[in-house]
C-alpha cells in the first residue's frame, strides 16, 4: 500500500532545525553524559527511558520520563515503553506541513527534533553464548521503530544511532540547530544501522548462531565514510576511505602529522602491517607498491631493537625503499627517527612514537605518521569485491605456537638445522606470506636479503630474489609461498648457494625437486600449507 501523497506546494522550507526537545534511549551509554550536558546547557528538554534516564538524572540533569509523555507505564518487563502515539506522532510529524502542525496542537503532542537511540546488544548477547529466550529478549522492537520513524522524517528530526556522531550533533545544537544535509546523512547511517541489526536477527533465526567463525548465509558490511581522498590509485579515479563497524585496523589509525593520506598510502600501510605484525620480536617492514622490499627483526643484543630492525630491513633493498611505507610492530624510537632523517619515506605506521622521535619527524613535514589504535588487531576475515559480488575467506594467519608446529614439518632433504638456522627458516616462512605471489624470500639472520615477487612463474621469482640478494644469497635460506612445479626454480637457488629451502610441497614432481636438493646436500622442509597472496 502506498503512503500518503501531498501537494509539493504545501511544503514549507525547513533547513536548520533548532533542537528544543530530544528523545534519548540508548543501550550503549558511551559519552552519554557529555551529550546530556550539552543538551541541558542548550535548554533542550530531555525525554528518556530506563537506564539512560537514571544516568542523566544522577549527573544532575532534568529528565522527563517517557511514561509521563505517554500517560502509560512501562509494561511487560519493559517490552512496551515507547510504542505509543504520543511518542511516534512527535517523531513522524512533518512540520513543513501546516496540517501536521495543526494536528499535533489538537492532540497536545510536542514534536521531537533530536532522537538518540541505539539498540539492545543482540549480537553481543549471541556471541556470549546465550541461547533461546535470553537471545530473544535482546531483539529490540521499540528502538528500531523509533530509529526508522525518525530517519524517515529526517526533514524535521535528527536521528543519532552512534556515540561517534555526538561531537557533530553537539556542535550543531550549540550553533542553533541541525542542517538538512546533516540530518539526511544521519538518516542514512540510521537505516544502515537497523538493516545490519535485522540481518543479524534473521541470521540467528535461520542458523541459530552468529559466531565469527561461521561463513554467514547473508552478509551485510556496514561502513561509514571517514574521508574523501584526493584521488584513487590514479588521478582520474575518485576515492574515499570508510571505517567498518567494529574495525580496529589501519582505517582507525590516528594521523599525527604529514600530508593527507592517499588511496595508495592506505593500501601500502595495510600491507606493511601484514608483514611486520606477523613477527614476535621487534620487527620492521618496508613496503613499495604493496610488496615488501625489506622485512627484518632486531639483531641479537641490539641496544635499540626497533631501530636495529629498521636498518636491517632497509639493507635488503635500499633503492626500492626510497619513497616506501614503513610499519613497525613496536614503539618508534629516537634512534630509528634519526636513521630515517635522510631517507625519503611516505608513511610510518606504528603502535606508538617516542616524543623525541616526533620532534625529529617535524622537520619532515610531508611525512605521514599513523598511530594504530590501542586495540589494533589483525582481521579474522578477508573480504574482496569482485564484479557482481564479493569473496569472503578466513584471514591467512600463522599460529601463535608456530615453533611447535615447525617440529612437524616434513624434512625431505638434508639434516635438521640448528636452532638459530631453524629460527631463520621460520622467519622466512612468515615473511613469505606478505609477498605477492609467486613469492620467493631469501633470508639471513631473520632479515630478508632478496625478494622475488609478483611474477607469473616461480622461476622468474627465484631469479629476481637471487639477483637482488647478490653475494648475500650464499648461505641464506629460501622460502616459497607455494610448491615448485619443476626442479628448475630450486636449481637457481641451489646454484646461488642457498643453505636450506622451505616450501609447502604437493607437486606431482616433488620427487624431482627433492632429488635436486639432495644432490646439493641442502636441507628442504615441506610444510603442507601454502601462503598465496594475490
Instruction: For residue 489, name the pLDDT band (cuts at 50, 70, 90).
Output: very high
Annotated catalytic residue, options 29, 222, 281, 289:
289
Around Cβ 39, how many Cβ atoms within 10 Å?
Answer: 23
Residue 134 corresponds to which cell in the numbers above?
Answer: 535470553
Query: Does 218 or 142 have the greater pLDDT score?
Result: 142
Contact 42, 19 (CB under 8 A): yes
Q: Residues 122-163: pLDDT tens digits?
A: 666 666 666 666 667 767 777 788 888 888 888 888 999 888
* CA 430 – CA 275 distance, rounded (Å): 8
Range with the poorest average pLDDT among 47-61, 258-272, 469-483: 47-61
Query: Does 420 or 495 have the greater pLDDT score?
Result: 495
DSSP E strands: which ranges in 437-504?
Answer: 440-444, 447-452, 477-480, 500-503
Q: Residues 450-469: pLDDT tens digits?
A: 999 989 999 999 999 999 99
Q: Known catalytic residue: 289? A: yes
Q: Residues 186-201: pLDDT tens digits?
A: 888 888 888 877 777 7
* CA 51 – CA 76 distance, rounded (Å): 17
Q: Supply the pLDDT for residue 431.
A: 93
Annotated catalytic residue, options 61, 152, 222, 259:
152
Residue 69 corresponds to which cell in the numbers above?
Answer: 509523555
Q: Who's near 133: CB < 8 A, 6+ residues apart?
A: none
Q: Known catalytic residue: 152? A: yes
Contact 286, 326 (CB under 8 A): yes
Query: Which single residue is written with the C-alpha cell 598510502?
Result: 265
The total number of residues shown for the chain amounts to: 534
Determine the angle formed by the axes of helices 142-152 and 180-207, rounding to 10 degrees: 150
Residue 465 corresponds to which cell in the numbers above?
Answer: 630474489
Amino acid at each position: 500500500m502506498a503512503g500518503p501523497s501531498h501537494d509539493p506546494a504545501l511544503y514549507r522550507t525547513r533547513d536548520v532545525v533548532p533542537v528544543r526537545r530530544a528523545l534519548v534511549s540508548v543501550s550503549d551509554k558511551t559519552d552519554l553524559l557529555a551529550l546530556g550536558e550539552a543538551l541541558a546547557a542548550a535548554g533542550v528538554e530531555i525525554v528518556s527511558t530506563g537506564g539512560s534516564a537514571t544516568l542523566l538524572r544522577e549527573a544532575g540533569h532534568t529528565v522527563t520520563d517517557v511514561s509521563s509523555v505517554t500517560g502509560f507505564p512501562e509494561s511487560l518487563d519493559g517490552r512496551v515503553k515507547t510504542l505509543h502515539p504520543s511518542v511516534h506522532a512527535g517523531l513522524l510529524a512533518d512540520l513543513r506541513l501546516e496540517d501536521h502542525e495543526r494536528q499535533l496542537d489538537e492532540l497536545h503532542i510536542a514534536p521531537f527534533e533530536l532522537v538518540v537511540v541505539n539498540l539492545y546488544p543482540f549480537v553481543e548477547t549471541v556471541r556470549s553464548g546465550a541461547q533461546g529466550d535470553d537471545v530473544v529478549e535482546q531483539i529490540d522492537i521499540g528502538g528500531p521503530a523509533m530509529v526508522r520513524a525518525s530517519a524517515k522524517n529526517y526533514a524535521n528530526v535528527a536521528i543519532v544511532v552512534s556515540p561517534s556522531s555526538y561531537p557533530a550533533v553537539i556542535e550543531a545544537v550549540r550553533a542553533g540547530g541541525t542542517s538538512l544535509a546533516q540530518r539526511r546523512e544521519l538518516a542514512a547511517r540510521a537505516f544502515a544501522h537497523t538493516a545490519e541489526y535485522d540481518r543479524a536477527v534473521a541470521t540467528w533465526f535461520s542458523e541459530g548462531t552468529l559466531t565469527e567463525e561461521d561463513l554467514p548465509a547473508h552478509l551485510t558490511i556496514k561502513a561509514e565514510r571517514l574521508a574523501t581522498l584526493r584521488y584513487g590509485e590514479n588521478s582520474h579515479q575518485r576515492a574515499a576511505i570508510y571505517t567498518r563497524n567494529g574495525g580496529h585496523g589501519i582505517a582507525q589509525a590516528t594521523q599525527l602529522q604529514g600530508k593527507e593520506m592517499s588511496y595508495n598510502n592506505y593500501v601500502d600501510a595495510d600491507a606493511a602491517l601484514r608483514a611486520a605484525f606477523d613477527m614476535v620480536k621487534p620487527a620492521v617492514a618496508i613496503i613499495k607498491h604493496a610488496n615488501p622490499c625489506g622485512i627484518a627483526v632486531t639483531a641479537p643484543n641490539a641496544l635499540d631493537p626497533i631501530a636495529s630492525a629498521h636498518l636491517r630491513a632497509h639493507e635488503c633493498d635500499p633503492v626500492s625503499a626510497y619513497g616506501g611505507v614503513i610499519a613497525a610492530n613496536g614503539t618508534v624510537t629516537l634512534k630509528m627517527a634519526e636513521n630515517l632523517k635522510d631517507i625519503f619515506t611516505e608513511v610510518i605506521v606504528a603502535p606508538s612514537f617516542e616524543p623525541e622521535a616526533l620532534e625529529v619527524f617535524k622537520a619532515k613535514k610531508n611525512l605521514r605518521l599513523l598511530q594504530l589504535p590501542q586495540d589494533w588487531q589483525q582481521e579474522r576475515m578477508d573480504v574482496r569485491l569482485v564484479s557482481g559480488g564479493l569473496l569472503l575467506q578466513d584471514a591467512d594467519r600463522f599460529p601463535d605456537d608456530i615453533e611447535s608446529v615447525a617440529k612437524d614439518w616434513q624434512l625431505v632433504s638434508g639434516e635438521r638445522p640448528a636452532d638459530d638456522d631453524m629460527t631463520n627458516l621460520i622467519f622466512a616462512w612468515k615473511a613469505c606470506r606478505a609477498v605477492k605471489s609467486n613469492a620467493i624470500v631469501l633470508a639471513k639472520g631473520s632479515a630478508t636479503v632478496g625478494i622475488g615477487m609478483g611474477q607469473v612463474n616461480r622461476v622468474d621469482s627465484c631469479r629476481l630474489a637471487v639477483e637482488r640478494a647478490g653475494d648475500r644469497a650464499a648461505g641464506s635460506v629460501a622460502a616459497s609461498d607455494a610448491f615448485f612445479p619443476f626442479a628448475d626454480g630450486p636449481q637457481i637457488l641451489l646454484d646461488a648457494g642457498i643453505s636450506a629451502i622451505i616450501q609447502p610441497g604437493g607437486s606431482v614432481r616433488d620427487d624431482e625437486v627433492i632429488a635436486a636438493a639432495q644432490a646439493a646436500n641442502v636441507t628442504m622442509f615441506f610444510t603442507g600449507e601454502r601462503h598465496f597472496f594475490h
